[in-house]
Structure 1
Amino acid sequence: MSGRAIARSTARLAGALLLALAAGCAQLVPQTIALRTDWPAGVPQSVELTGVPFFPQDEYQCGPAALATVLVHSGVAIAPEPLVREVYLPSRHGSLQAEMVATPRRHARISYPLAPRYGDLLREVASGNPVVVLQEIGYLPLVPKWHYAVVNGFDYPSGTVWLRSGTERRQAMPFTAFERTWMKSGYWAMVVTAPDRIPVTATEQGWLAAVLAFARSEQGEPLTRAYAATLKRWPDSLPAAVGLANQHHARGAIAESVAVLRAARRKHPQSAVVANNLAQALSDLGRQQEALALIDQVADPAHPFAAEVRATRELILQRIGRQKSGNR
């Protein structure tokens, strides 16, 4: 082979290697590569939440430290130590995601797992919400080392992600290196917010699931705020309207419950649940004839909520009977 042919062959080989390396890099950090041409609309390329607190972690206790960071940022006065018994599992030398998600509810906060997208993480940080992430930072392939940290900033021009992590108040990681550690957890991430502060990336279905989980451990004013915020963000949300009306009713604000249910009935005239609950609330206000006329509109024995409707109708009839007896 001539020298010129060898040179051409070498050039082709080098070009192929460069393409292979480029393809390999894209496979290693696909979301970072995608950000080059698909940066999230409306998100600045440089954000740092400098007011996010920092708690240096003890060995294996990154979970409590990360939770304390986002809880304090959300307005809860707490340190990592009390959280250790809530999330730390000595047998595993760490914390599971289930405990990380559940614990904020015990402190009147809602935890919202993010979609596994770099763009959603960036949007949340840009909106003022630090993000808890799960990384695999081990050096040995067969010995994973899982670690929770809190993303509190990024600077895309320099390719930097900033974290509250371990003993580092301002850990700087390249976008690519961060993605490599984060992707091994399936891009697991969550934000923790006050009940009336809905994450910017939240979907109606996802947020309602978070609120319903919150309702299992929290009632009263925090839950009322959560439902009210949900209905403000998604005015046509039937579950939010029913939940908010139920909270008003539970605290004795029957007129407010009626107002919410009337608005919901205008938007969802076929909902037997709304009609049933509105009839119950009207009856509780002493407006029995109006309640009876309403409940009779949905008294369908084949309906899935037929038993509840029947029980409400019987209650209204009993109250009407007592009214008639009292007027004799």
Structure 2
Amino acid sequence: MPIRLDRSFTRCAGLVFCLLLAACSSQPSTSPRLRALPEAVELSNVPFFAQHAYQSAPASLAALFTLQGETVTPGMVEKELRLPEREEALQQNLAGVVNRHGLLLYPLGDQLEDLLVQVAAGNPVLVHMRQGYGWLPSWRYALVVGYDRNKQVLLLRAGGIRRLPMSFSEFESGWEGAGHWAALLQAPNQLPAEADRSRWTQAVDALAGAGQADAANIARKQLH
């Protein structure tokens, strides 16, 4: 009889341990960097333009240009990007269009927390994501405008939806499929959170190369 009790106790203890381990693994990341951020943030002031064919990038850019005080529409940006004719060169053209508007395209790192840090600082993040699987995947641009760390959910401006909730895991899968591309559109006098000198300098050089010398000079001074 004592042997049976010991075995039962061992099985129960093992079950409890497994349940505790599963519960811990389901909790959001608690890295020091994330713990320093607000639990939940939503940038409700970010404009929204519904996206149609070939307009995920134009709609996202139009929202960010509007946030910077410009008056633009997705259709206007679509013409600047030369869509749909230049769709294959979209990412390269996107950087050029941003620079011609006197703004910097500041690249971010490939970790989800890199995006959350910016959103917490009030900076919406432009992201590129893969949709679908198999032989016919598609790609789209969207804006990350909020998050909830406890629920592990992001809020996106995407497609025809102003507040699209998406789990961290679903987002990271689509984001990874597009090469973890993410960037900010910053005014020359607007440093991002945790500004990286080399990335800022790279963005400033691209701005200068687009003929925006005055804006580039302002941006260079921000790091001094």
Normalised by the size of structure 2, how large is the TM-score?
Answer: 0.82
Structure with greater helix share of residues? 1
In the alignment, residue 97 of structure 1 is paired with which amino acid? Q
The structure with more strand, counted as a fraction of residues: 2
Contact 1:120 1:201 in 2 (8 A): no
Counterpart-to-counterpart distance in 2, 1:130 and 1:184: 21
Q: 1:114 aligns with which of 87, 105, 108?
A: 108
Does the CA contact (< 8 Å) of 2:99 and 2:212 recur in 1? no
Shift of 1:167: 0.5
How far off its partner does 1:141 sit? 1.4
Q: How far off is 1:42 after superposition?
A: 2.3
Cα contact 1:88–1:95 (8 A) shared by 2: no
What is the Cα deviation at residue 186 of structure 1? 1.7
The amino acid across from 1:79 in the alignment is T
Q: Which residue of 1 aligns with 2:149?
A: 156
Check conservation: 2:62, 2:73, Cα contact below 8 A. yes
- In 2, distance between residues paired with 1:152 and 1:67? 14
Q: Tell me the CA shift for residue 41 of structure 1.
A: 4.7
1:136 and 1:181 in contact (8 A); partners too: yes
User: Counterpart in 2 of 1:235?
Assistant: none
Residue of structure 1 in register with 2:200 after alignment: 207
Shift of 1:51: 0.3
- TM-score w.r.t. length of structure 1: 0.57
Residue number among 134, 141, 154 corresponding to 1:141 in the alignment: 134
Is 1:98 the equivalent of 2:92? yes
State the structure with more CA Rg: 1
**Structure 2 SS opposite 1:90:** coil
Match of 2:120 among 107, 116, 126: 126
The answer to which structure, 1 or 2, has the higher relative contact order (CA under 8 A, 6+ apart) is: 2
Gaps of 5+ in 2: 1-10
* Closer/same/farther in 2, CA of residues 196 and 35 from structure 1, 3 Å limit: farther
The aligned counterpart of 2:38 is: 44
Please point out which of 166, 172, 186 is paired with 2:179.
Answer: 186
Task: Give the structure 1 partner of residue 3 of structure 2.
Answer: none
1:292-326 residue CA offsets vs partner (Å, 9 max, x unmatched)? xxxxxxxxxxxxxxxxxxxxxxxxxxxxxxxxxxx
Structure 1 residue runs without a partner (length 5+): 1-10, 27-32, 232-328
- Report the CA distance between 1:93 and its aligned residue: 5.3
- Give the root-mean-square deviation of aligned CA atoms: 2.6
